[in-house]
Amino acid sequence: MSSNWIEACAADAIEQEDVIRFDHGGRTFAIYRSAEDDYFATDGLCTHEQVHLADGLVMDDIIECPMHNGRFNYRTGEAKGAPVCVNLQTYPVKVEAGKVLVQLD
């Protein structure tokens, strides 16, 4: 496993229970902040049709695709039913000195 932690954003750049887009190395990711101030990261595009999840709504542990309402648990990446059936890739996240760091392998 690599120890390649990438700085994604400032911790306070994301509102509580919300998500932002983070592009790195030609790929796009979604970085989440839960209502309890825990941080998470997943691939940025919905697995149903290439739509940026960061434009979707976060409610509790769920990110919902803005176009077709595909729902995923952003903590685990689990797809929650039609139209999405493929889980999202998740990535380890830590917060250090007010920065959100993501481990992209």
Asked if residue 88 lies in contact with residue 75, where contact means CB atoms within 8 angstroms, the answer is: no
Q: Is 67 in the site for another protein (CB under 8 A)?
A: yes
Half-sphere exposure of 34 (CA within 13 A, CB side): 13
Q: Which of 20, 83, 103, 104 binds another protein (CB under 8 A)?
A: 83
Tell me how far apart the alpha carbons of residues 73 and 11 are, in angstroms, rounded to a whole number.
Answer: 21
69 interacts with another protein by CB under 8 A: yes
Provide the residue count of the chain. Answer: 105
Closer to another protein at the Cβ: 60 or 105? 60
* Contact status: 49 vs another protein (CB under 8 A): yes
Under the rule (CB under 8 A), what is the footprint of another protein? 15, 17, 49, 51-52, 55-57, 64, 66-69, 81-83
